[in-house]
Amino acid sequence: MIPLHIDVKGKQVLIVGGGNIAFRRLLLFLHEGASITVVSPEVLPEIEEHANQNKLQWIKKKVEQSDLEQAFMIIAATNDPLVNEWIAEQAGVNQLVNVVSNADKGNVIVPKSVKKGRLTLSVSTNGASPKLAKQICEQLSDQFDDQFIKELDQMYERRKDTKQNRLG
C-alpha cells in the first residue's frame, strides 16, 4: 500500500455499522464533505442525531449487496467480522474498501490523522495497532506549534504567488 490523501468532498461514502468505530470514521468523512450513508439496524445516538440533522442518511436495516453499488468508498465497521469480510468480497473492483476488523481484507487503510492548518500528519501501523498509531500521531503533532502553522500558511501564500507570477 502507498500513502495517499484523497479528496472525498461530495463522494458517496457508505458506512456499514453503527457503533463507535463507525462513528469515528463518519466524523472524519463528514468533516471532509463526503456524502455519507450509514446502513445499520441500530446506531449510536450521536449517529442518529447527525441523521436527524440531515448531515447523513441512515438506512435502518442490515446491509445488502445493492447498498454497496453506488459507493465510492465503503467502511465495513460492523461488530461481525464475517459481515465485514462479506462486504469486502461483494464490493466492486474499483471501490475503496476499509475493513475495520481486518485491514488485510480491504484495499484501503484509514490512518490516524491530525490536521493543523495546512499540515496533515497521518500515521498507520497497517492494522497492527490503531492505538499505537494514535499515540505516535499525537506525539508528532505536539511538535508543531501555532507559530509553525502560521509560517506554513505564509509559505503556501508565497508559493501560490510565485506560481501565479509564472503563469501570468
Nearest partner of 78 among 48, 107, 98, judged by Cα: 98
Residue 66 pLDDT more than 70? yes
Beta strands 57-59 and 73-76 are unpaired
In a domain, 1, yes or no: no
In a domain, 5, yes or no: no
Q: Which residue has the cell 497492527?
A: 128
Same domain, 103 and 124: no
CB burial of residue 125 (10 Å; 0-12, 13-18, 19+): middle
* Domain, as residue range, for 147: 114-167
Confidence (pTM): 0.88
Q: What is the mean pLDDT of residues 49-57?
A: 98
Longest pairwise C-alpha distance within the chain: 57
Same domain, 73 and 146: no
Residue 48 pLDDT more than 70? yes
In a domain, 46, yes or no: yes
Give the integer Cα–Cα distance in Å for 100 and 94.
19
Count of domains in the chain? Answer: 2
pLDDT at 168: 66
- Phi, psi angle pair for 99, to nearest 5°: -105, 110
Give the 3-state secondary structure of residue 106: coil
Q: What is the mean pLDDT of residues 100-121?
A: 91
